[in-house]
Chain A
Amino acid sequence: MNRPRTPAAIILIWLPVVITAATWPTWSDRLPDRMATHWNGAGAADGFSSSSGFWTAMLVLGVVAGMAGIVIALRAGGAYGSRYLLGAAGALAGSTAGVWVASATATLQSPGDPRLGWRLLYFVAGLGWGAVVALVAGSLPSAVQPPAPAVAPLDLAPTERAAWSTTLRAPLILALTAASAVLIAVVAAVGAAPIWPLAAVPVVIGLVFGRLRVTADRRGLRLVAGLLAVPLKTIPLTDVAGVEVTEIEPLEWGGWGYRVTPGRAALVMRRGPGLVVHQTNGRRFAVTLDDPRTPAALLTALQLRSG
């Protein structure tokens, strides 16, 4: 927590959680056992839950968001992308409190026929709370970017040609894909509520990110999403200012998966060794690799040859 405003951001993340917790004692005796928690398009309540259960669920989600905020602050320190993660935690905390306040006040207003109406704004404001948190967390004073440390080039003879490629696998993502596919099949079979579009999201993510091919050669660095062969990222050799072999701390790069933060982008599959490419336009791109030294040495050699 080497940034003075991070503690303030943490407090802001917890604020909606406090609201959720504090409103229960004043509202609980006036709330029915089962309260409206879902509304249809016409504005009439069509879903009901146990009041205490619903409150507990919203509170727990808020607490999880608050704890996540603390973990992010401690783990990422003042790292670059942590501002957005803190904002996301704030949005989660805010929106759960918003859902609770909107549902509870609607039920309190007219227990017989609770109407959501404008109270939807509580939820929207809760989501917007994330932006407030991100704003307060602030950006790091733009540090002078150190030049990429030199990597020893691969010893390529003038008559030699070389290319490097590897396949990245994300076992967790593939497992989630499989689990989601099974879930979709089960839901479709029992004909339950149409939640399958939600479950389809991990399947699509799995198809895109489940297997990735990373290549380094005379074209530069390329990332191609394996199963559908979608090109994710191409950095031509002429745009490479330098390469760096380093340990990738996911929270410093904005989390896991394909992350874009201002001035930087990264494909982070896990914590561990990775390759960072410094581009001539000042942007940086990182990818986690088991053996980042070989592509780093190759790109350096190819760059020296072309330059």
Chain B
Amino acid sequence: MLFRVDVAAAEPLADQIAAQVRGGIMRGELAPGDRLPAARELADVLDVNLHTVLRAYAKVRDEELIELRRGRGAMVRGDADPARLRLVELARQFVGEARRQGLGDAEMLAMMREAQP
């Protein structure tokens, strides 16, 4: 899969890399059991700090999409679910936009309920 980061973008580099991993799983380019590049190698080729990549991997691990094992690197979890991941991504966008418009939790939940057919 392709990793690309933009050093001029406002989004932190670690978040950009985490988003790439998420995208890879969503598009099916990364299947359960697939290994991610070693953090040291990815940091080298993208010319970013090793801790930036480690932070990105840790973030995706906390989202329960990959597992990190000492000495074995990062691997996509067997239960990583692209369909659910797409929903989470939509929810993330929804919440982000709602916050920008100044909406509170109650208003967001009300909108979700209204969205039901």
Q: Which residues of A contact B (CB under 8 A)?
A: 154, 156-157, 159-167, 213, 215, 217-219, 291, 294, 298
Counting CB contacts under 8 A, is B39 at the interface?
no
A240 to chain B: closest CB distance in Å?
Answer: 15
- Bound-complex Cα distance A162 to B41 (A): 13
The answer to whether B5 and A165 have CB atoms under 8 Å apart is no
Closest 9 CB pairs of A and B: A159-B8, A217-B45, A162-B4, A163-B45, A160-B6, A164-B2, A161-B46, A165-B37, A163-B3
Q: Once bound together, how far apart are the Cα atoms of A164 and B5, in whole Å?
A: 12
A218 pairs with B45, CB closer than 8 A: yes
> When the two chains form their complex, are residues B35 and A167 in contact, meaning their CB atoms are under 8 A apart?
yes
- Please state if A167 and B34 are interface contacts (CB–CB under 8 Å): yes
B103 at the interface (CB under 8 A from A): no
Encoded as 1 (CB less than 8 Å from any A CB) or 0, chain B from 32 to 63 comes to 00110100011001111000000000000000
Distance in angstroms between the alpha carbons of A192 and B82 in the assembled complex: 50
Among B1-25, those with CB < 8 Å from A are 1-9
Give complex CA distance A28, B52 in Å: 77
Which of A157, A159, A162, A291 is within 8 Å of B3, CB to CB? A162
CB pairs A–B below 8 angstroms (22 shown): A160-B4, A160-B5, A161-B4, A161-B6, A161-B46, A161-B47, A162-B2, A162-B3, A162-B5, A163-B2, A163-B37, A163-B42, A165-B3, A165-B37, A167-B35, A213-B35, A213-B37, A215-B41, A215-B45, A217-B45, A218-B47, A291-B29
Instruction: Find out whether the CB atom of B8 lies under 8 angstroms from the CB atom of A157.
Output: yes
What CA separation (Å) do A217 and B4 show in the bound complex?
A: 10
Q: How far is the CB of A156 from chain B (nearest CB, A)?
A: 7
Whether the pair A165, B46 counts as a contact (CB closer than 8 A) is no
